[in-house]
Chain A
Amino acid sequence: NAGVMQNPRHLVRRRGQEARLRCSPMKGHSHVYWYRQLPEEGLKFMVYLQKENIIDESGMPKERFSAEFPKEGPSILRIQQVVRGDSAAYFCASSPLRQGLTSGANVLTFGAGSRLTVL
């Protein structure tokens, strides 16, 4: 069981370029979550997806950020026209059940993160 796989682990981009971060959930998990960790900060929720559906994107910036989880393949977090403030660690997590107040502990398993540096 390979766990949650994220790549690339480190990504360097210049201002204005695009960043694509990939996440493969744990085997058997169909729910994916993206979190962002700014330097010296905790993790902030960005988006929650199931296959082919965005369930909750309340934490996503309104512009330049998008996420998808296609029927086949990994989930992708895409950041267009990156700026220095986008430099952060982006963590993906997965769970076997739908996140909700009555779904039990429904533990999230996190990947090792992708660290984006914008020059």
Chain B
Amino acid sequence: GEDVEQSLFLSVREGDSSVINCTYTDSSSTYLYWYKQEPGAGLQLLTYIFSNMDMKQDQRLTVLLNKKDKHLSLRIADTQTGDSAIYFCAERGGSQGNLIFGKGTKLSVKP
């Protein structure tokens, strides 16, 4: 079945780059997504990438996709304290194309 794995914690200093990694199992996934969840809030879409792309950049965010290894990463440049949140990787999979989420990576940004 489908599975999405992420490391649970990441701690960086303000101004550094953050890299959050994700692996997935469904090779037929067409889209992969990154969502951000702040404490007590819902999920906010950050970015997504189509499976035939290797990279997508959007301001401070860079998504890299290695389809052969089924590895996805999210790089946040110049990380700020406001970036502290839980980041979820998700793949579009299953017979109905439902989103399948990882457990989330909690990013802590130290001043």
A-side interface residues toward B, CB under 8 Å? 4, 6, 33, 35, 40-45, 48, 55-56, 58-59, 91, 93, 99-103, 105, 107-113
- Closest B-chain residue to A111, C-beta based? B42
User: Could you show 26 A-B contacts with beta carbons less than 8 Å apart?
Assistant: A4-B42, A33-B99, A40-B103, A42-B88, A43-B43, A45-B99, A48-B98, A56-B98, A59-B98, A91-B42, A93-B43, A99-B96, A99-B97, A100-B96, A100-B97, A101-B92, A102-B30, A105-B31, A105-B50, A107-B33, A107-B45, A111-B42, A112-B41, A112-B42, A113-B41, A113-B42
Min distance, Cβ B107 to any Cβ of chain A, angstroms:
15
Main secondary structure of the interface of B (DSSP, over half): strand
Is the Cβ of B4 less than 8 Å from the Cβ of A42?
A: yes
Residues of chain A contacted by B102 (CB below 8 angstroms): 42
Tell which of B41, B48, B100 touches A107, judged by Cβ atoms closer than 8 Å. B48
Interface size, B (range): 20 to 34
Main secondary structure of the interface of A (DSSP, over half): loop
Is the Cβ of B98 less than 8 Å from the Cβ of A109?
A: no
Residues of chain A contacted by B96 (CB below 8 angstroms): 48, 55-56, 58, 99-100
Is the Cβ of A42 less than 8 Å from the Cβ of B45?
A: no
